[in-house]
Amino acid sequence: MAEPHDTPPCRRAKSGQVREALDRIEHLFIDGVKHGFFRCSIACETLNGKRHVVIEAGKSHKFTIPEHEVPR
């Protein structure tokens, strides 16, 4: 069954690198709020048709998102 058009693209990602990156961001956010402080940065660049996403929050988490996983 197709997702409704009003569903945000991030909710449509059920698996793959996009889902893993979103789950990591959510985990870092919740953990930071529990501790009462946090700093996080997210960077993305496109190389050879893939998105390279780096999430930095104490340590770096790297994700390579293939073109077919990019939410539309």
Prediction pTM value: 0.74
Q: 7-26: per-residue pLDDT in tens?
A: 665 566 677 899 999 999 99
pLDDT at 71 over 90: no
Q: What are the structural domain ranges in the chain?
A: 13-69
Backbone angles phi, psi at 35, to 5 degrees: -80, -20
Q: 23-57: per-residue pLDDT in tens?
A: 999 999 999 999 998 899 999 999 998 999 999 99
Residue 46: alpha-carbon gap to chain centroid: 15
Task: Give the β-pairing of 59-65 and 50-57.
Answer: antiparallel
Specify whether the CB–CB gap between 52 and 64 falls below 8 A.
yes
